[in-house]
Chain A
Amino acid sequence: MRKGLHRLARRGWRPVAVLLAASAAWVATPAQEDLRCLSCHGKPGFRQVRPSGEVLELFVDPTLLRQSVHAQNTCVDCHADVDEVPHPERPGRVNCRRCHYEGSTAGVPQTPKYTEFEKSVHGRELAGGNPKAPLCQDCHGDHLIAPGTDPRSSVNRAHVTQVCGACHLKVYGEYRASIHGKALDRGAKDAPVCTDCHGEHTIARPEDRGSSVSPANVGNTCAQCHAKVFIMEKYGVKVQQVATYRDSFHGIATEFGDLKAANCASCHRAHLILPSADPQSSVNVKNIPATCGKCHPGANANFAKGRIHLNPKDRSAGIVYWVALGFEVLTVSTLTGLFIHIGLDLFRQYRSRRRRRTEPNPETKGEANP
């Protein structure tokens, strides 16, 4: 027997693990373990009325856990503070980080997301003791946790806005009314949801220089979609808006680190982004003086008399296009003329110098023999 174990050890740890797992399964399968919990929580309609009048729905559909990524886990793997049945106290909130950390041997995905979350605004608020700060399960759900690609997952693109909106109600309302929210309603696959701009586990305040929605980075965040022709052509939006912004005084100032300069969101707003044709839009002709006036006190109707994202190389720029084109023609022809003139001049200088060497030149006769 000992010899046999030695042989097993020599072959590596895998067979041992298999053996242990098999014996554990023999002792109690997850389903068997959970039966004790489900003797109460498995009854449809199981609920408790708190003294405050709050009704706690305590029924748990056991099939949900079996369909989730935690199909192999038991109730007490997560509800670890329950050590007797029935439990006299209301169990605390589940702490996912008992298993979910980098280097964990519990078979969880190895990803930097766990530490990213700690550094995020949510993680920091949580560490600071903010009772409203979200835990993992507030976004990922409880019993039916599935990968984001699964349509049933709470973090699937179809549900992300509701998940964030559960806490961020005001912003949610603005987003739903925006062109992005309406595009999502129409089922546009490219429509950005909260996480496309804010990130997922890396969410940070706009004041944070590293944040994807910091004034330093918001232009690049919008450009992820707005600089791509294959996305924008589907919606009739010009990609040149990105390049023209970057070449504008606002764009250059931002590029060189002046965060007071206007970025996309300064004019178009962060959440209630509306097409300029909409009278409610911050970039509607009627509202432009007020929008510019946020930074430029005294902005008047003159600010709206002209295109904002002007591309001098595009015919839509009108007279500016023709002036730019005229200068281009003038510059190229001047350059060409100068190259010819200078080239010829140099050639003639070279020829006459050679001639001067071979035959005496009447012009320089006086100084030929000093």
Chain B
Amino acid sequence: MAEADPHPTVERMTLLQRVDHALLALCVLLLVMSGLALAYHDHAWAQVLIGWMGGLGGRHWLHRAAAVGLVGAGFLHLGGLIFSQRYKRDLRDLLFVRADFIEAARGWRFNWTGKGEPPRFGRFTPWQKFQYWGILAGCLIMVLSGLVLWSPQASLTLFPKGFIDLMLVLHSREAQLIFIVLILWHIYDVHLAAGNFPMNPAWLTGRMRADVYRRQHLGEVEAREREEKKP
């Protein structure tokens, strides 16, 4: 039984999911680094970054190579969704349901007033669901607009300049939004949120502590316990 283990853990991510996440994280970091350096080219830190990347030419190719990696991570994810039952189950559990809004409201009420009960989230908290869909939509926007910007000269012969300008502003502003969501929210969630400090190790080991899991996903844990009690 799990109780016999002094530090019981819960399985959260399969090996393929961890590889996919690592590839995504690496590519996004490289993309953000090389992209922000271009957007803030007149700042000293950006010039240092561009220097590290081997000048504008190096930055140019690093950004494109990381973009290819990101698209690769996307295809890996798509493959999982098509062939893996686990991916399909995760996707089903990532869909927003009515309970998410009720529990989120309960969580907010608990956080604001200290009254009521802590929220009973399922396998994925509403925040995690929001981050998943937000990053997915963000990546789609970034990949599509980035594709148009890949070769401005080729794109300009196909599309009017106004369209390229639109793609450019979309690309840079969406990047800033994703960056803020990732840095503030996702990093907070996996490092500092309830019981995770210093880090939720699921992205490396695939497992997290059962007691932390219970605190964060009380609804799911209780549902499993009810199922076990049933004959």
Contact = CB atoms under 8 A, between A and B. Distances in A.
Contacts, number: 104
A59 to B, nearest CB: 60
B184 A306 contact: no
Contacts of A168: none
B156 A299 contact: yes
Contacts of B161: 302-308
Interface stretch (A10-18, A135-143, A226-234, A251-259): A251-259
Given A252-B38, A306-B165, A324 B111 contact: no
A335 B160 contact: no
Interface residues of B, number: 43
Category for how many chain A residues contact B? 35 or more
B111 to A, nearest CB: 4
B184 A347 contact: no
A304 B162 CA distance: 9
Given A249-B152, A296-B153, A302-B159, A330 B177 contact: yes
Contact of B169 (A320, A330, A363): A320
A305 B160 contact: yes
Contacts of B41: 247, 252, 255-256
Contacts of B50: 256
A346 B192 contact: yes
A334 B180 contact: yes
A307 B162 contact: yes
Contacts of B159: 302
Contact of B180 (A306, A310, A338): A338
A363 B210 CA distance: 12
A349 B107 CA distance: 12
A114 B129 CA distance: 73
A342 B50 CA distance: 33
A342 B193 CA distance: 8
Contacts of A307: 161-162, 165
Nearest 10 pairs between A and B by C-beta?
Answer: A306-B161, A305-B160, A306-B162, A327-B173, A344-B111, A256-B56, A348-B111, A338-B184, A252-B41, A302-B160
Interface of A: 246-247, 249, 252-253, 255-256, 258, 296, 298-300, 302-308, 310, 312, 317-320, 323-324, 327-328, 330-331, 334-335, 338-339, 342, 344-349, 351, 363-364, 366-367, 370
8 contacts: A303-B161, A305-B162, A327-B174, A327-B177, A334-B177, A334-B181, A335-B184, A338-B180
